[in-house]
Amino acid sequence: MKITILTLFPEMFTPLYGSIVGRAVKENKLQIEVVNIRDYTEDKHLKCDDYPFGGGAGMVMMAQPIGSAIEAVDPEHRARRIYLSPKGKTFRQDMVYALVECEHLVLLCGHYEGVDQRAIDLYIDEEISIGDYVLTGGELPAMVVADCVARYVDGVLSPESLVQESFSENLLEYPQYTRPVEYKGLTVPEVLRSGNHAEIDKWRRNQALKETQKKRPDLLK
């Protein structure tokens, strides 16, 4: 899978290459391409934003540099083109499963007051929001989407890591413990140390139900 990120701030993506995603890129399981939209502006002063028609605060990203960048990275429109936007559909785990089926994702990061509507109308398939709040730019949302999708690319994580985790069956995950057995008077539940896998599975299922009931009862409806 290839993920192309279009941004005016490519330097913001360094953290994406740490940890598991970075390893997947190094091992060629996943390709991440960060493209500077400014490289595609036809403005002689390299401008990519301008004042909004109709007045109002802030600047708007111009359609031309965005359009040219998208045409360059996805000339035949084979990719799923996504604009990260607070106006988009709220990102959820079921959307991750759909996106991982795409061979190529193009993630457009807005900034300032957003992007010229014509860039969205002409080039974007889908708008995704990472929650009901407004960030300064689409760079963090693009990293959220890229990170979530990358976990499900074949070979990035072991298949066991992806089952029974939060949201996999509309449940939150059961509590996890590691060594030592006792920490500040709190002990790891005995069943987890019993070696009885049927009992462990039963305990985990019950705990997952309890966690979900307590913290996210909406998931059980």
Ligand X SMILES: C[S@@+](CC[C@H](N)C(=O)[O-])C[C@H]1O[C@@H](n2cnc3c(N)ncnc32)[C@H](O)[C@@H]1O
Q: Given the rule CB under 6 A, which residues bind ligand X?
A: 84-87, 109-111, 113-115, 129-131, 133-138, 141
Question: 61 φ, ψ to 5°?
Answer: -70, 135
> Least separation, in Å, of the C-beta of 129 and ligand X?
4
The first and second tokens of residue 174, run together, are 């059961």
Q: Which is nearer to ligand X, 77 or 87 (CB)?
A: 87
Q: Which is nearer to ligand X, 22 or 88 (CB)?
A: 88
Tell me the residue number closest to ligand X, measured at CB.
110
> Least separation, in Å, of the C-beta of 175 and ligand X?
30
Q: Which is nearer to ligand X, 74 or 116 (CB)?
A: 116
> Least separation, in Å, of the C-beta of 6 and ligand X?
11
C-alpha radius of gyration, the chain, whole number: 22
Q: Which is nearer to ligand X, 21 or 115 (CB)?
A: 115
> Least separation, in Å, of the C-beta of 185 and ligand X?
41
Q: Quickly list H helices, 60-136.
A: 63-73, 93-99, 117-123
The first and second tokens of residue 48, run together, are 């990519």
DSSP secondary-structure letter at 14? G
Tell which residue, 79, 75, 175, has the closest CA to residue 126.
79
Neighbours of 150 (CB within 10 A): 23
> Least separation, in Å, of the C-beta of 54 and ligand X?
13
Q: Which is nearer to ligand X, 53 or 159 (CB)?
A: 53
Distance CA 87, CA 90 (A): 9
